[in-house]
Structure 1
Amino acid sequence: MSQPHPHRRPVGRARVWAAAVTALMVLLLAVMAGIAVPGLIGTLSAVALPWLWLPAALVIVGGFWWWRRRWIALLPALVWIVATASSLTWFPPAALDGDGVIVAASQNVEAGSGTAAESAAALIDRGADLIALTELDAQSRDDAIGALEDSHPYRYVVGTVGLWSTSPIIDAEALDLGLGWQRALRAEIESPAGPISVYVVHAASFRPGVQDERDAMLTALGDLIAADDHDRILALGDFNAAGADPVLAGIRSRLAEPGQSSFGFGFTWPANLPSARIDHIFQRGFDAGGAETLRAGASDHLAVLVALRFRS
């Protein structure tokens, strides 16, 4: 009497599925490798990078089901973890409080939203000592000045950017970063623990195929930071670039971006359905607590806020 055969998947179907999973893995690895390529490819790869966890998970499931060498299915996930390590933190740092701690905040207030005063009030309520506002127009500039004049008496505002501080601003200058008009500034803050060199930037917008102005600005900013010999430096604002974007390499080589205070990617735009982190706070010379994103006013960007302890 013939013995029943165990159920087997049809060989042809198995090959099709194995080939599909293999193709997906190759595509994933190509996108991840793209973050090393300057220009449009690197920018788009950096934006897509945080979202690749889902197709990587599908490769793991499909590979374990259809491949004999199942360990290969883990390769995209391992590469993804390495690729995101520079811009994402999965082990949030401890909260900071007490003496020697300042809180820095950055918010693109969205010109025309009419809520710059609300944004400023929200950041005041969170204890921000340094507040950088970008995409200022004439009305939002006036509204922010009025909202912050009592709590943050020191300010420097130029073009579309402004910096407000509870400590004196002893030196400041406008920066055009090669654009020919002012979308950035540098200021020196005389804090109780010593001077802080602060850069605020509102990078030119990124549009596929039209990114030369943004790239020129961020490259020039990286060069300025590389030449800055201050022990403590902050660079904050709307960079219009995801954390792993190769155009930020010059900045990331000198400054570090604090990890998030909670598990996640810290997306800042668009505010109603955040899907990319294009607003950043980079620092040197501090011990950083966990960064937070929060709704401040009706802007299309979330604000970023981080506590920093002076490093001796």
Structure 2
Amino acid sequence: MTQADMAVAGGGSAEGERFGVRPRRLIDGWRGDRGIWRRGLVLAGLALLLAVVLFFHAEIPNTVGNLGSLTETFLPWLGILVPVLLVLALWRRSATALIAVLAPAVVWLNLFGGLLGDKQSSGGNLVVVTHNVKAGNPDPAGTARKLAASGADVLALEELDTTVYERVLKDNYPYHAVEGTIGLWSKYPMSDTRPVDIKIGWTRALRSTVRTPAGPVAVYVAHMPSVRVKPEAGFTVKQRDNSANALGDLIAGDSLPKRILLGDLNGTMNDRSLNNITSQMRSAQGAVGNGFGFSWPASFPMARIDQIMVKGIEPKSAWTLPETGSDHLPVAARLQV
């Protein structure tokens, strides 16, 4: 009698033998193993520690190397440890570790589960794009053409170091302004354009009133100071933090009810140091994006540090654009002004 005949005679199939009996044998083996609760205690401890870090990330102090901000910048990636711990718990045949792994899995899903799906919707009457084009971009003209083809009504650029962008974009955008290394291009009239002081000693932010068909909108463009990871100082963010606080105060005091912030903030929405901004504005990606929308580094995006944020405006969809000659990806959003 063949294996298939034996399986049929027993009320099953050869396929069931392969995919059904073995898991039952595994479960039966665990039932008879009294050590499943004693093994894997270290793994269980690591799982619970991961859950604590995820749940209490805002309590991690910045006093030593700004560890709190560093953790929050890459916080979503801690979720990778969950399946790793799960596999190790199965390998160790530890029921204790398997149950403990549920804790970080639940906390991570509570924090980031809402970002996994596509929340984009139709509608919107204003498309905005922001891009750190990178100083020394090897192909600024090509980058400018790609951005012009994005369909943006309002385009913000950071790290400008050449007039190529002005030359290439002029046919698509009749209105524009450049302040320091920051530029804003618009299909609609701009007025009251001025540099804004974000406390770094030179111009890396501006504010303009864009007169859209739906009414005036205050548009801010900013490039926050870069963060650094240094052996002697850890994750150095003090200058970035001071700039974020200054910019948040300026946005809060703006007289126009509709406000947009575009730019490279060198920080994620989880970073507590941006609270003066994030507490009053909505992230377009977080509200209506598809996935995490990581934008940096362009070759293998690991963090969303390029932001589109709104106040008094309804975001409809948000996405990242294809790679250009920069080390950042452009990010876009469609808004209902």
Pairing 1:214–2:240 present? yes
CA 268–94 in structure 1, closer or farther in 2 if over 3 Å, else same: closer
Return the offset for 1:242. 1.7
Alignment of 1:253-264 (within 5 A): 253-259=279-285, 263-264=290-291
Per-residue Cα deviation, 1:52-98 (whole angstroms, up to 9, x for no partner)? 2221234456668524596553221222233337xx6334333434x
Instruction: Name 1:49's counterpart in structure 2.
Output: 75
Deviation at 1:101, TM superposition (A): 0.7
Tell me the distance in 2 between the aligned counterparts of 1:35 and 1:197: 31
1:285 Cα offset (Å): 2.3
User: TM-score, normalised on structure 2?
Assistant: 0.80
Show the counterpart of 2:221: 200
Q: Does 1:281 align with 2:322?
A: no
| 1:182 to 2:182 alignment | no
Say if 1:296 and 1:62 are closer, same or farther in 2 by CA, change over 3 A: closer
Q: Does 1:22 align with 2:45?
A: yes
Question: Is the aligned partner of 1:303 residue 2:321?
Answer: no
Asked if the contact 2:43–2:89 (Cα under 8 Å) also holds between the matched residues in 1, the reply is: no
**2:157 pairs with one of 119, 127, 133:** 133
Name the CA distance, whole Å, in 1 between partners of 2:215 and 2:154: 15
Name the aligned partner's letter for residue 151 of structure 2. G
User: Paired residue for 1:238?
Assistant: 264
Taking the aligned partners of 1:288 and 1:109, their CA distance within structure 2 comes to 24
Change (3 A) 1:69 1:52: closer
Q: Is 1:33 equivalent to 2:60 in the alignment? A: no
Equivalent pair of 1:238/1:279 in contact (CA under 8 Å): yes
Tell me which amino acid in the other structure corresponds to 1:94. Answer: Q
Taking the aligned partners of 2:73 and 2:330, their CA distance within structure 1 comes to 19
Aligned twin of 1:101: 125
5+ residue gaps in structure 2?
Answer: 1-27
- Please report how far the alpha carbon of residue 126 of structure 1 lies from its aligned counterpart in structure 2 after TM superposition: 1.7
CA distance in 2, matches of 1:18, 1:38: 28
8 Å CA contact retained: 1:201, 1:237 = yes
Secondary structure, aligned partner of 1:107: strand
User: Structure 1 pair 41/82, CA: closer, same or farther in 2 (3 Å)?
Assistant: farther
Contact 1:134 1:238 in 2 (8 A): yes
Q: TM-score, normalised by structure 1?
A: 0.86
Query: How far apart, in 1, do the equivalents of 2:97 and 2:75 lie?
Result: 26
Aligned: 1:113 with 2:134: no
**8 Å contact 1:43–1:242 — kept in the other structure?**
no
The residue aligned with 1:168 is 189
Distance 1:247 1:193, change over 3 A: same
Deviation at 1:200, TM superposition (A): 0.6
Partner of 2:248, secondary structure, is helix
Work out which of the two has the higher radius of gyration on C-alpha atoms and give 1 or 2.
2
CA distance change for structure 1 residues 60 and 263 in 2, over 3 Å: closer, same or farther? farther
Q: How many residues align?
A: 298
Unaligned runs of 5+ in 1: none
Letter in 1 for 2:271: D
The verdict on how the C-alpha distance between 1:37 and 1:225 changes in structure 2, with shifts beyond 3 A counting, is farther
Question: What percentage of aligned pairs have identical amino acids?
Answer: 35
Query: CA deviation digits over 1:113-154, x for unaligned, max 9?
Result: 1323322221221210100000111x2xx0110011111111
User: What is the CA–CA distance in structure 2 between the aligned matches of 1:204 and 1:197, rounded to whole Å?
Assistant: 22
Equivalent AA in structure 1 for residue 128 of structure 2: A
- Alpha-carbon distance, 1:37 to partner: 4.4
Cα distance in structure 2, aligned partners of 1:76 and 1:174 = 45
The superposition leaves residues 144-172 of structure 1 with CA deviations (integer Å, 9 ceiling, x where unpaired) of: 10011111111111111111111111111
Is the contact made by 2:58 and 2:272 (CA closer than 8 Å) also made in structure 1?
yes
Q: Displacement, 1:6?
A: 6.3
Compute the RMSD of aligned alpha carbons.
2.6
Match of 2:25 in 1: none
1:2-21 aligned at under 5 Å gives the runs 9=33, 11=35, 15-21=38-44
Aligned residue for 1:30, secondary structure, equals: helix
